[in-house]
Amino acid sequence: MSSVKKVAVLGGGMSSLTTVLELTAEKNWQTKYDITLYQLGWRLGGKGASGRNPHIHQRIEEHGLHLWFGFYDNAFDLIKNCYQENNRELGKPLAKWQEAFKPYNFIVLEDKVKENWEHWAFKFPQNDQEPGSYPDETPLTVSGYVKRILKFVYDMYKTYSSDYSLEPETNFPEKHKSFLDKLLDELKDVVEVFVLETGSELILKAIDEIEQYSENHNTKHHDRVLHLIDLFLKWLENKIENKVSNDPKLRRMWIMVDFSLANVRGMIKDGVLVNGFDVINNYDYRAWLQKHGATQMTLDSGVVQGVYGLVFGGYKYYTFEAGTALRGALRMIFTYRGSIYYRMQAGMGDVIFAPIYEVLHKRGVKFKFFHKVTNLKLSADKKYIQSVEINKQVNLKNETYQPLITVKDLPCWSSEPSYEQLVEGEIIKEKGIDLESYYSGWEGVENISLEYGKDFDILVQGIAIGALPHIAKEIVSSNAKWADMVKNVTACPTQAFQLWLKPDVAGLGWPFWIQDLALLGSYQEPYDTWADMSDLIIREDWKDGYYPNNIAYFCGPMMDIKLAPFSDHSFPDKMTEEAKKNALDYMKNLTAHVWENSHQTPDGGFDWNLLVDVAKKTGVQRFDSQFFRSNIQPSELYVLSETNSTKYRLKTDESGYVNMYITGDWIFNGFNAGCIEASVIAGKQTAQAIMQRKTKIHGEKDLI
The pLDDT of residue 192 is above 50? no
Strands 638-639 and 5-10: unpaired
The pLDDT of residue 169 is above 60? no
pTM of model > 0.85: yes
Q: Decide if 476 contacts 469 (C-beta within 8 A).
A: yes
| 3-state secondary structure (DSSP) of residue 596 | helix
| 3-state secondary structure (DSSP) of residue 558 | coil
Question: Which of 229-238, 560-569, 653-662 is predicted least confidently?
Answer: 229-238
The pLDDT of residue 172 is above 60? no
The pLDDT of residue 660 is above 50? yes
| Residue 488 confidence (pLDDT) | 97
With pLDDT > 70 as the criterion, what percentage of the chain qualifies? 93
CA dist 578 and 580 (Å) reads 5
pLDDT digits (tens, 9 = 90+) for 201-220: 888 988 888 877 665 556 67
The pLDDT of residue 187 is above 50? no
If pLDDT is split at 50, 70 and 90, which confidence band does 171 have? very low
Say which residue, 191 or 263, is predicted with more confidence.
Answer: 263
CA dist 688 and 652 (Å) reads 10
> Following CA atoms 100, 50, 371, 365 in sequence, which dihedral angle do they give, to the nearest 10 degrees?
0
- In order of 368, 419, 625, the CA distances from 430 in angstroms are 24, 10, 21
The pLDDT of residue 244 is above 90? no
The pLDDT of residue 194 is above 70? no
Q: How many residues does the chain have?
A: 704
**Kind and range of the H or E run holding 678:** helix 676-691
The pLDDT of residue 189 is above 70? no
CA dist 689 and 577 (Å) reads 44
The pLDDT of residue 609 is above 70? yes
pLDDT digits (tens, 9 = 90+) for 507-559: 999 999 999 999 999 999 999 999 999 999 999 999 988 999 999 999 999 98
CA dist 220 and 630 (Å) reads 53
Q: Decide if 313 contacts 639 (C-beta within 8 A).
A: no
Q: What are φ and ψ of residue 547, in 5° steps?
A: -65, 120
The pLDDT of residue 175 is above 90? no
pLDDT digits (tens, 9 = 90+) for 351-392: 999 999 999 999 999 999 999 999 999 999 999 999 999 999
| Residue 139 confidence (pLDDT) | 78
Buried b / exposed e across 576-611, counting CB within 10 Å, b at 16+?
bebbbebbeebbeebbbbbbeebbeeeeebbbbebb
pLDDT digits (tens, 9 = 90+) for 400-450: 999 999 999 999 999 999 999 999 999 999 999 999 999 999 999 999 999
The pLDDT of residue 195 is above 50? no
The pLDDT of residue 182 is above 60? no
DSSP annotation of 92: B
Q: Decide if 13 contacts 664 (C-beta within 8 A).
A: yes
pLDDT digits (tens, 9 = 90+) for 13-29: 999 999 999 999 999 99
CA dist 363 and 285 (Å) reads 44
The amino acid present at 46, given as its one-letter code, is G
The amino acid present at 119, given as its one-letter code, is H
With pLDDT > 90 as the criterion, what percentage of the chain qualifies? 83
Q: Where are the alpha helices (DSSP H) in 590-657?
A: 591-594
Region of residue 287 (phi > 0: left; psi between -120 and 50: alpha; otherwise: beta) = alpha
Exposed (0-12), middle (13-18) or buried (19+): which is 282, by Cβ within 10 Å? middle
| 3-state secondary structure (DSSP) of residue 49 | coil
If pLDDT is split at 50, 70 and 90, which confidence band does 162 have? confident
Buried b / exposed e across 634-645, counting CB within 10 Å, b at 16+?
bbbbbbbbbbbb
If pLDDT is split at 50, 70 and 90, which confidence band does 316 have? low
- In order of 470, 586, 598, 607, 694, the CA distances from 603 in angstroms are 50, 17, 12, 10, 65
User: Angle formed by the axes of helices 248-269 and 302-309, to 10°?
Assistant: 60
Domains annotated for the chain, with CATH where assigned, are 5-50+78-99+347-490+645-691 (3.50.50.60), 141-334 (no CATH), 494-631 (no CATH)
Q: Which of 6-20, 209-223, 687-701 has the highest mean pLDDT?
A: 6-20
- In order of 452, 555, 582, 590, 599, the CA distances from 525 in angstroms are 47, 9, 10, 11, 21
pLDDT digits (tens, 9 = 90+) for 23-75: 999 999 999 999 999 999 999 999 999 999 999 999 999 999 999 999 999 99
Sheet holding 446-451, edge to edge: 371-378, 385-392, 446-451
Spatial neighbors of 105 by CB under 8 A, at least 6 apart, are 123, 124, 125, 126, 339, 340, 516
The amino acid present at 41, given as its one-letter code, is G
| Residue 312 confidence (pLDDT) | 87
pLDDT digits (tens, 9 = 90+) for 448-480: 999 999 999 999 999 999 999 999 999 999 999
DSSP annotation of 604: S
DSSP 482-538: HHHHHHHS-EE-EEEEEEEESS-HHHHT-TTTTSSSPEEES-SSSS-EEEE-GGGGG
Task: Tell me the residue ranges of DSSP E strands in 240-370.
Answer: 341-344, 366-369
Mean per-residue pLDDT, 479-486: 98
